[in-house]
């Protein structure tokens, strides 16, 4: 969908805000916007957040897509911080979220999102099926399940439910923290996440950046941060186990570079984000983990 003409009629639109988090990858961002605009129906609002004052990206978007709104942050707030700003600025209560390199696979993506919220009004977030280059593309069958987690670049939020959680903790590199933290707080408030194969998103990346030492160290420190900010002290041993399990996984996959730095940065990482501490009760965390292990199948 991300190729072809960039012109499209805006007459067939739905009350959905599409948001995109961008940084320096201008070509990918423009391709994502093209794919979104070629859906039928198309969202009646599209907003892009450009991180770290990358004005060249913002200027390129405004030149090619003058109706797309752009928001530029001077600081490096990461994708979570960008989504906080975007969702706060959205004019609609239904907000479809994408990365700068992820986009809908099906032209009727936004129509289906509206229909799913009508069929499952208790859903706070819809999580689309995410596919990467070379992966088998499953059929877009009408199946769904209540689950514990979601992917920020392939989901649809209810704006009010998102804002009620307080949003994301803004981390420049948020692996291991971003969606898991928000999903846990949403679950504690009684919110629900519906994962479905009826919505499909393509993530045009090979994921090689996940092996970067900076990602490695932050993924360890972020797991410790999640436990510190959200778990009651009685569950801190669980957080320690989760960090240890992450270290074991990284080591077993040959990603040694960054492990030591990740462990050493934990104390300062916790102190730097102390203000975001909001502990969740034991039973909510246990039920969240149980749902992660055993999603609840739904039919429609």
How confident is the model over 104-118, as pLDDT tens digits? 999 999 999 999 999
Distance CA 183, CA 168 (A): 10
- Answer yes or no: do 203 and 213 share one domain: no
- Answer yes or no: do 193 and 260 share one domain: no
How confident is the model over 247-269, as pLDDT tens digits? 999 999 999 999 999 999 999 99
Distance CA 288, CA 17 (A): 28
Percent of the chain at pLDDT > 70 equals 95
Confidence tier at 1 by pLDDT (50, 70, 90): low
- Answer yes or no: do 123 and 251 share one domain: no
What does pTM read for this prediction? 0.92
Which is nearest to 204 in space by CA: 113, 129, 112, 130? 130
The mean pLDDT value for 290-298 works out to 97
- Answer yes or no: do 89 and 44 share one domain: yes
| Res 299: pLDDT | 86
User: What's the number of domains the chain is made of?
Assistant: 2
Q: Is the pLDDT of residue 235 over 60?
A: yes
- Answer yes or no: do 89 and 214 share one domain: no
DSSP 54: -
- Answer yes or no: do 182 and 241 share one domain: no
- Answer yes or no: do 173 and 231 share one domain: no
298 versus 4: the higher-pLDDT residue is: 298
| Res 87: pLDDT | 99
Strand partners, 188: none
Q: Is the pLDDT of residue 5 over 70?
A: no
Confidence tier at 300 by pLDDT (50, 70, 90): confident
Q: Is the pLDDT of residue 9 over 50?
A: no
Q: Which of 157, 191, 207 is the last residue of a domain?
A: 207
| Res 284: pLDDT | 98
Percent of the chain at pLDDT > 90 equals 91
Assess if residue 174 is contained within a domain.
yes
- Answer yes or no: do 20 and 164 share one domain: yes
Assess if residue 8 is contained within a domain.
no
The mean pLDDT value for 12-29 works out to 96
| Res 210: pLDDT | 67
Q: Which of 178, 207, 236 is the last residue of a domain?
A: 207
- What residue numbers bound the domain in which 34 lies? 13-207
Residue 121: exposure state from Cβ atoms within 10 A (0-12, 13-18, ≥19): exposed
């Amino acid at each position: 969908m991300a190729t072809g003409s960039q012109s499209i009629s805006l007459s067939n639109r739905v009350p959905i805000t599409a948001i995109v988090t961008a940084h320096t990858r201008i070509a990918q961002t423009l391709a994502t916007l093209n794919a979104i605009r070629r859906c039928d129906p198309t969202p009646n609002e599209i907003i892009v957040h450009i991180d770290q004052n990358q004005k060249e990206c913002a200027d390129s978007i405004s030149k090619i897509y003058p109706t797309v709104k752009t928001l530029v942050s001077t600081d490096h707030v990461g994708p979570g911080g960008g989504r906080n700003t975007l969702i706060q600025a959205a004019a609609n209560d239904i907000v479809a979220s994408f990365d700068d390199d992820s986009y809908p696979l099906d032209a009727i993506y936004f129509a289906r999102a509206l229909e799913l919220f009508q069929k499952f009004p208790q859903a706070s977030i819809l999580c689309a099926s995410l596919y990467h280059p070379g992966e088998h593309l499953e059929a877009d069958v009408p199946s769904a399940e209540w689950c514990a987690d979601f992917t920020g670049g392939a989901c649809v939020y209810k704006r009010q439910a998102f804002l009620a959680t307080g949003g994301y903790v803004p981390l420049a590199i948020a692996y291991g923290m971003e969606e898991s933290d928000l999903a846990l707080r949403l679950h504690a408030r009684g919110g629900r996440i519906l994962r479905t194969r009826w919505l499909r998103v393509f993530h045009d990346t090979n994921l090689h950046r996940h092996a970067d030492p900076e990602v490695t160290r932050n993924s360890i420190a972020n797991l410790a941060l999640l436990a510190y900010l959200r778990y009651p002290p009685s569950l801190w041993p669980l957080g320690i186990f989760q960090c240890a399990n992450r270290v074991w996984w990284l080591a077993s996959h040959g990603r040694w570079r960054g492990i030591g730095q990740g462990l050493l940065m934990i104390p300062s990482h916790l102190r730097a984000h102390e203000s975001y501490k909001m502990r969740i009760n034991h039973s909510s965390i246990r039920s969240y983990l149980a749902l992660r292990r055993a999603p609840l199948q739904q039919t429609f």
